[in-house]
Amino acid sequence: MVEMIREKKRRSADYEIRRESGAQDLTGRQTCFEREWVKRYGEGQNSRGTLENHRQTSLTHQKDGAGANRRNKTGKLQELTLNPPEGIIAGPENEENFFEWEAYIMGPEGTCFEGGVFPSRLTFPPDYPLSPPKMKFTCDIFHPNIYPDGRVCISILHAPGDDPMGYETSAERWSPVQSVEKILLSVVSMLAEPNDESAANVDAAKTWRENRKKFEEIAHRTVRKSLGV
């Protein structure tokens, strides 16, 4: 899938054209992803069968109640892979490990990240969905809610229960009923509306508050770098 994205970048026009045709370009990327999925896992029942094998293996040692919940979650992961929401491409890195995913998030329209395609990795813990996955961008991105090493800091990825610092409500944090799709959509919203009151990157938060023009210039450079231009 990485090679597919790289090829897509090489064939893309210059940065300004990308910004103007973002929606069409996204549709093209989604189509390419679907082709890559079929190439990797096969069509129709073959694809679902591969995922079913992963699901059965991962559930072997689960209790009945937890297993039913896990099966439900795995079904949602499959649905996300086959029918990603607009602006998001996501899927397992390889068919040997269904709990290591890569995702590509397109910068939200009308923001300084518009037009960018930002790769990230989702890592699911053994006790998922009781515990949340971890998410990390694998590209440079300057944002108040993203640590310098790429780790995403957002309420929905925090362990379930009350916030010991009293900043978040339990409803904002992870719970087993949350979905991966909601995580990714929350990250898109985070890119559009940074929370500088709870900063993972203090320098980015300060720049966002005090020098918005400089922040946007850095973001535009990040967009161009993500597109390889």
Which residues have a catalytic role annotated? 153
Residue-wise DSSP of 121-143: EEE--TTTTSS--EEEESS----
Sheet of 134-137, strands arranged across: 88-94, 97-106, 117-123, 134-137
Q: How far is it, in rounded angstroms, from Cα 23 to Cα 106? A: 10
State the alpha helices, DSSP H only, in 116-198.
Answer: 180-192
9 touches 32 (CB < 8 A): no
- Residues shown for the chain: 229
Identify the residue whose tokens are 């896992």.
41
Query: At 117, which amino acid appears?
Result: V
- Say which residues have a Cβ less than 8 Å from residue 172's Cβ, sequence separation at least 6: 155, 156
90 touches 77 (CB < 8 A): no
Q: How far is it, in rounded angstroms, from Cα 66 to Cα 46? A: 26
Identify the residue whose tokens are 């210039």.
217
84 touches 105 (CB < 8 A): no
